[in-house]
Amino acid sequence: LTLFVCVIGDKLCSVNISLNFLLIAVSDEELKKRIAEELALERARRDSEAQKRRLFRFQCWWWEFILRNEIANIPQRNLFFDKSARQLEEKDRELKKHDAYYKEQLARLEERSAQFYKVTTEQYQKAADEVSARFKRYESHPICGELQDKILQCYREHAQETLSCSALASQYLNCVNHAKQVNPLGITSVNLCSVKST
């Protein structure tokens, strides 16, 4: 079964029906109904294609519009990037100036610190020399130190016989008493007592 319909406006131009269709008895109502359905389908197909064409044209127009705007904005973007690059270069120059300034200040502070350390060290040494010159050092030695050492050695050797060390202890006491009479402050640089051999 084949049906060809040509429509101009609301008028039906021609209908070609195959031979098999003519053999079947069809009422005018059925034929009109089928033709109306076919016409409705054809109109829907044409409307759909027209809608697709309109959508395609709109999409083409939209992309063309976007591309034109993008191309038109390129100079503005270039200006923005150029301005940003200049600002970054200016900030970089400022940072380098600050860096040089702070390095210079640090070098000055280090130099001042070294000078201060040198002056302080020199003043300290001078003050130490003055104190040493003003106050003489006196060396003190234990009074009767040799006798003291001998008594300690005797007590170690004769731990159970302490009376055997009494002669040394007596000599030590005499030496200490003699030293007190000669030098009542107890400052000495020479051993005042000589060791008597026993």
Give the model's pLDDT for residue 82. Answer: 82
Q: Please choose, from the candidates 137, 150, 136, the residue with its C-alpha nearest in 3D space to the C-alpha of residue 193.
A: 150
pLDDT in tens, 26-48: 466 777 888 888 888 989 999 99
Please answer whether residues 13 and 45 qualify as being in contact, where contact means their C-beta atoms are separated by less than 8 angstroms: no
Which H or E run contains 8? strand 3-8
> Whole-prediction pTM value?
0.32
Whole-number Å distance between alpha carbons of 198 and 196 = 6
- Which of the pair, 122 or 34, is modelled with greater confidence? 122
Give the model's pLDDT for residue 137. Answer: 66
Please answer whether residues 140 and 188 qualify as being in contact, where contact means their C-beta atoms are separated by less than 8 angstroms: yes
